[in-house]
Amino acid sequence: MADIDYSQKIPNNVNLAEDRRLQRALEAWQPKYVDWWKEMGPAGFQADDVYLRTAVDVGREGWAHFGHVQMPEYRWGIFLSEPEKDRTIGFGDLKGEPVWQEVPGEYRADLRRLIVVQGDTEPASVEQQRLLGKSAPSLYDLRNLFQVNIEEGRHLWAMVYLLFGYFGREGRDEADAMLERRSGDPDQPRILQAFNEKTPDWLSFFMFTYFTDRDGKYQLGALKESAFDPLSRTCDFMLKEEAHHMFVGASGIGRIIQRTCDLMKEYNTQDVTPHGGINLETIQRYINFHYSVSMDLFGSPKSSNAAIYYSAGLKGRFGEASKDDDHLLNSSESTFLTVSDGKIIEESSGALSLVNDDVRSDYSIDCGKGVRRWNRILSDNGVDFEMRLPHVGFHRGVGPFVDAKISPDGKVLSDEEWEASVKQWLPSEKEQAYVSSLMVPEYGVGKMAGWIAAPSSGINTKPVDFDYVRL
Ligand SMILES: [Fe+2]
Ligand SMILES: [Fe+2]
């Protein structure tokens, strides 16, 4: 296992220099990537010094180096976690056999598809977030936005390396297509719908990093189980970077809630909008929206594709080893929620067909942890309000609830009942316009916009009033 070599054009720990053909192919893709970054990455700020972390080691705790760098000069590279000695396949029909260092011919198309779908989300989110720098609530937040963007760019590199390295001509074409699709473009959209939506304001950004990046965590966790070892090792290291993205979301929403509590107390009111804050009900509606669209990314709970991927060892469940079952799922049953005759019911099915729902339900439990932390902020401030995750059937675009109308507390509604109440549950246009009216930049060192509290600490032991971005 090589250390990360930063003396090369493309930093890497995969001995790229020993594979001239692959190295040349990736070096030919690199300028196209940088062009994409300049065109579709953060609007503005490309010549400013940003305090960014860069991976310097994949193994140890202190794996990252921090320093000011201009974003186009960032050293995007290819970093895989250390190989696990004698690793064997942990699930599916080939359980117990050695993992693969090459792609078996019969799984080529499926594996390529899994990698392309994951890879496509990475540049997509950068595109979705490209205008947010212009309305950052602080330099601290501006820096966090760019850190997330830079690392999503690196995640694209992670997937593109696999495409170039293991999928020949088709892989190279797929890598080029990654730079040609555009989030929200009607002619060349990104593959998954949630990645074609806008991220128009910072409340949405924090919700996205909390809920949608967490979908990424669960997808990467499931792919990390893969029998295709290079994919497994790539995803393992991506997960390390991903943790910060979800921290940005969890802490960002927490700080908004804190600020709202402060304003509620200061002005003795429930409605903080006259004072430039974001009402708790609004935050709840944004949670409802982002949680429901993020759950759609897990696909249909019952899925024959997911069963095929599982049996073949291509994609497992999140935390496969911690699951207390046979890891084959051929003979066990499980249940999922669906709607029938106007009622929500539990339906049973073979566990193998419900792998998607297994991953999704672990995701939902994980989402609930942050909600509990936010509720602690509310109770610590003596505010009688509880944030909640809506029911799994609420506002779904994928799966058995698509044609049903389900309230956040899990009641089946008629179309009329839904229409009469949906304004209480999803952000209205007026409300979104209000949130966007708050989005004026605060670029003063250590200053915060009025709708969000300061973080309790800075990045990498630096103070909150550090010049995270030098404008
Ligand atoms: Fe990512
Ligand atoms: Fe992410």
Q: What is the pLDDT of residues 128-160, one digit of tens each?
A: 999 999 999 999 999 999 999 999 999 999 999
Q: Check residue 4 and give its pLDDT.
A: 81
Residue 59 scores a pLDDT above 80: no
Residue 354 region by backbone torsions, left for phi larger than 0, else alpha for psi between -120 and 50, else beta = alpha
pLDDT > 90 fraction of the chain, expressed in percent and rounded: 94
Distance 177 CA to ligand 1 centre (A): 18
Q: Check residue 58 and give its pLDDT.
A: 76
Residue 61 scores a pLDDT above 70: no
Residue 97 scores a pLDDT above 80: yes
Q: Check residue 108 and give its pLDDT.
A: 97
Q: What's the pLDDT band for 323 if we cut at 50, 70, 90? A: very high
Please report the beta strands in 26-102, taking only residues with DSSP state E, as ranges in sequence order.
Answer: 49-55, 64-70
Residue 63 scores a pLDDT above 80: no
Q: What's the pLDDT band for 3 if we cut at 50, 70, 90? A: confident
Residue 94 scores a pLDDT above 90: yes
Q: What is the DSSP letter of 42?
A: -
Distance 242 CA to ligand 2 centre (A): 5
Q: What is the pLDDT of residues 17-53, one digit of tens each?
A: 999 999 999 999 999 999 999 999 999 999 999 999 9
Distance 234 CA to ligand 2 centre (A): 14
Determine the 3-state secondary structure of 67 from DSSP: strand
User: Quick count: other Cβ atoms within 10 Å of Cβ 353?
Assistant: 21
Average pLDDT in the chain: 96
Strand order in the sheet with 64-70: 64-70, 49-55, 469-470
Distance 165 CA to ligand 2 centre (A): 23
CA distance linking residue 275 with residue 269, whole number of Å:
10
- Which residues keep their CB under 5 angstroms from ion ligand 1? 122, 152, 155
Distance 302 CA to ligand 1 centre (A): 26
Q: What's the pLDDT band for 56 if we cut at 50, 70, 90? A: confident
- CB burial string 428-442: b at 16+ within 10 A, e below: eeebbebbeebbebb
CA distance linking residue 53 with residue 458, whole number of Å:
13
Q: What's the pLDDT band for 2 if we cut at 50, 70, 90? A: low
Q: What is the pLDDT of residues 344-400, one digit of tens each?
A: 999 999 999 999 999 999 999 999 999 999 999 999 999 999 999 999 999 999 999
For the question of whether the overall pTM of this predicted structure is more than 0.85, the answer is yes
Distance 107 CA to ligand 1 centre (A): 24
- CB burial string 35-55: b at 16+ within 10 A, e below: ebbeebbbeebeebbbbbbbb
Residue 258 scores a pLDDT above 70: yes
Distance 423 CA to ligand 2 centre (A): 30
CA distance linking residue 120 with residue 191, whole number of Å:
7
CA distance linking residue 312 with residue 332, whole number of Å:
17
Q: Which of 176, 231, 230, 181 is nearest to 28 (CA)?
A: 176
Ligand number with the minimum distance to the CA of 118: 1
* Cα→Cα distances 284→92, 201, 241, Å: 40, 16, 28
Q: Are 315 and 225 in contact (CB under 8 A)?
A: yes
Residue 1 scores a pLDDT above 60: no
List, in sequence order, every residue forming a beta bridge with 340; answer none if it has no partner: 343
pLDDT > 70 fraction of the chain, expressed in percent and rounded: 99
Backbone angles phi, psi at 52, to 5 degrees: -115, 155
User: Quick count: other Cβ atoms within 10 Å of Cβ 110?
Assistant: 16
Ligand number with the minimum distance to the CA of 214: 2
CA distance linking residue 72 with residue 131, whole number of Å:
17
Distance 10 CA to ligand 2 centre (A): 21
Amino acid at the residue 194: A
Q: Check residue 62 and give its pLDDT.
A: 65
Rounded mean pLDDT, 188-215: 96
Out of 2-16, 192-206, 321-335, least confident range: 2-16
Q: What's the pLDDT band for 431 if we cut at 50, 70, 90? A: very high
Distance 221 CA to ligand 2 centre (A): 13
Distance 237 CA to ligand 1 centre (A): 11
List, in sequence order, every residue forming a beta bridge with 405; answer none if it has no partner: 413
Ligand number with the minimum distance to the CA of 152: 1
Rounded mean pLDDT, 288-308: 97
Distance 104 CA to ligand 2 centre (A): 29
Rounded mean pLDDT, 274-303: 97
Distance 250 CA to ligand 1 centre (A): 16
Distance 385 CA to ligand 1 centre (A): 33
Residue 184 scores a pLDDT above 70: yes
Distance 413 CA to ligand 1 centre (A): 36
Distance 121 CA to ligand 2 centre (A): 9
* Cα→Cα distances 364→124, 207, 208, 298, 357, Å: 23, 14, 15, 11, 10
CA distance linking residue 24 with residue 6, whole number of Å:
17
